[in-house]
Amino acid sequence: MNKLHLIDQIQIKKSYLCVGLDTDLTKIPAHLQGNPNAIVAFNKAIIDATKDHCVSYKINTAFYESMGLKGWDAMEQTLHHIPETHFKIADAKRGDIGNTSAQYAKAFFETLPFDAITVAPYMGEDSIRPFLEYENKFTIVLGLTSNKGAQDFELQKFDENYLYEKVLTTVSKWGTPNNLMFVIGATQASELLNIRKIIPEHFLLVPGVGFQGGSLKEVSEYGLNKDCGLLINASRAIIYAGSGINYADDAKEIAMQYQTEMGIYLQ
């Protein structure tokens, strides 16, 4: 999927919602627990219920890789159930020497039809370059995250600037807004004005709205650009909105609430 297609979907749906399929077998409704394909059944129901209200799905691969072959199969089945109209993100946080990254890129862009993958920039350009070589695919680089550990490196000063600012400035030169995005945590909304000065045209993947306490209003106020430029990820707040038989309807209701609020900010 290219940037223009993503923007088109945002305009059609009046939504920049990304639903995170960080599915934990221990947290899905009890009536599904006996299903040998419980993860897939749960994910398919969530996708069917929310697809009209979001433009993207993010699969956190750790929740699937931890189950071995069965989990990998569940991830594939889930991925293939997501409509082609939706932007599909592998939240895998890869990043290694060039030949290894080339294999990661092949895994998530060829073997699996993801549109984007999250990567860590610590090892530099040659660890990210293989992902950027793919046409109509996006590399989503960790920029400023919401976790407590962001203080350890990202928010340390580096030549009068924070390290995350150096990362954004440097990495943005390796690609373009047509193949590069950045992860910016929702709880860092106060930094978005500054971030938009550094990368005014890039899309930002913003986790942390919902259970982590990020404000959709603040992120939208400071982060929206002329193309929207935001994908707001909500995972637990949507997929675990209900725990009973009607869990998918409950998820749909929360997704609709996000969509409605986003429609106001897009006006």
Q: Catalogue the active-site residues.
A: 93
Selection from 193, 249, 220 nearest residue 46 by Cα: 249
How far is 29 from 251, CA to CA, in rounded Å? 12
SS3 118: strand
Contacts of 128 (CB under 8 A, 6+ apart): 95, 101, 119, 121, 139, 141, 171, 174
Q: Are 98 and 130 in contact (CB under 8 A)?
A: yes
- Give the DSSP letter of residue 50: H
Selection from 1, 34, 46 nearest residue 240 by Cα: 46
Q: Are 230 and 219 in contact (CB under 8 A)?
A: yes
How far is 33 from 206, CA to CA, in rounded Å? 31
Residue 98's H or E segment, with its range, is: helix 98-106
- Give the DSSP letter of residue 107: I
Rounded (10°) CA dihedral 187, 88, 174, 134: 170
Selection from 261, 237, 232 nearest residue 251 by Cα: 237
What is the Cα Rg of the chain in Å?
18
